[in-house]
Homo-oligomer: A and B are copies of this chain.
């Protein structure tokens, strides 16, 4: 039998790439020592049919292409240096639509104070935007440098985008979070001096927790600390969806998930929400509101894998 990419899935594929590339670190973002500091570089490709919902504006497509890349800089606490834009569009795309995409890219670059410094244009059957964000950091914040007893915290609500992708109405916090996410760049730069580790939530809380898990360490998340609103639960139920599944296994929040010592939490000059703690249990678990403690499934958004 000839194996296809779908037979092993994206996570195994990434493992294969890392195992065969001596210079890639398992972090999402590359660190290159350079003239007594570190150059931070990261790239993310967005493809219209996979990443842009039908109700997303061209402006928001461009903005998001910058956000997803800047979010990786944010997770490292890196200061932005520049953004490169590789864009492919169909030759039948309206010129005005192209201009809207570019406007979204430029407004995002302005918002994050990251200059658009270069790029490439191409022709394809659909919109493909591949961005590269460059930054620098004297002391990059890694994703797995936490200690037992550290608190686990997030920079804002999670699960909103997951619900937003399912809603048709346009004007609410859920759809706004799904279509117009913002990266936590300023927060990341602050966290660099207070947190013990950080990553951004793109594929869902569960997927990120498993992504940062080291052998011998575990995580305990407390449902009540997630502060899930009654409205959220009701909207999920109306859609016949499990609200915890939305919160744990979908992602696209672009909030930062970080760990911090109890001592440093009080000193942290930004808003955050503690949702659990680092344990020595070697499992990723959640303390449900009903009192039961269950393991969280290692499931998140993954390419190549059919449902």
Contacts and interface: CB of A to CB of B under 8 A. Distances in A.
Quick one: which of A2, A30, A44, A106 has the most chain B CB within 10 A?
A: A30
Assembly stoichiometry (copies): 2
B43 A91 contact: no
A17 B105 CA distance: 11
Contacts of A45: 86, 88, 120, 122, 128, 130
Given A20-B102, A45-B130, A82 B30 contact: yes
A300 to B, nearest CB: 14
A3 interface: yes
Interface string A76-90: 000001101110111
Contact of A92 (B5, B10, B44, B132): B5
Nearest to A40: B118
A228 interface: no
A-side interface mostly? mixed
Contacts of A123: 10, 47, 50, 303-304
B94 A30 contact: no
A58 to B, nearest CB: 12
Instruction: Please classify how large the interface on chain A is, using the bins under 10, 10 to 19, 20 to 34, 35 or more.
Output: 35 or more
Contacts of A90: 5
A289 interface: no
B84 A42 contact: yes
Interface of A: 2-8, 10, 13-14, 16-17, 20-25, 28-30, 32, 34-37, 39, 41-45, 47, 49-50, 81-82, 84-86, 88-96, 98-99, 102, 106, 115-125, 128, 130, 132, 134, 136, 303-306
Given A24-B117, A44-B120, 18 more contacts: A5-B91, A5-B94, A5-B98, A17-B102, A20-B102, A22-B115, A23-B117, A24-B118, A28-B118, A34-B81, A39-B39, A41-B117, A43-B119, A43-B132, A86-B130, A91-B304, A91-B305, A134-B134
8 contacts: A4-B92, A4-B95, A5-B89, A24-B117, A35-B37, A45-B130, A47-B88, A47-B124
